[in-house]
Structure 1
Amino acid sequence: MGRKPGGARDHRPVRPNVAAFLASDLSGYVNGLMIPVDGGASAMTQSSFAKDILEVRDAFIAG
């Protein structure tokens, strides 16, 4: 049992769930995609692309 970001306890293993999804028919249209299996750690940080988007938005709003 691991921990997720924010202190929540993770009771289920994530990797088998992702593998089951990718092996199912539901993933038929998924291609060229990187699926991070890191317990949500990558969702807690903003990528540089996201920061760039926010800077452009703020500059647009400021006029």
Structure 2
Amino acid sequence: MAKAVMQGRQGAATHLLYQLYMLLQKKKKLGLTATAMEVMQPAATARLHRIENSIYTEVISLWAGI
């Protein structure tokens, strides 16, 4: 999906926003916390998100030090 958005495919961004909207509505309906949502992810996806988050945090802290 991300590749389709980056390539500018028609409707890709709309589809991604719709998926996000549906996920957030489901979260709201079930009253889930962010931690509960992470636990429900497949292990590989959750690990990837943790790695991406740590990289993002490191980059932000480097930028803040400039």
The alignment's TM-score, normalised by the length of structure 1, stands at 0.28
The structure with the greater share of residues assigned to helix is 2
Greater radius of gyration (CA): 1
The alignment's TM-score, normalised by the length of structure 2, stands at 0.27
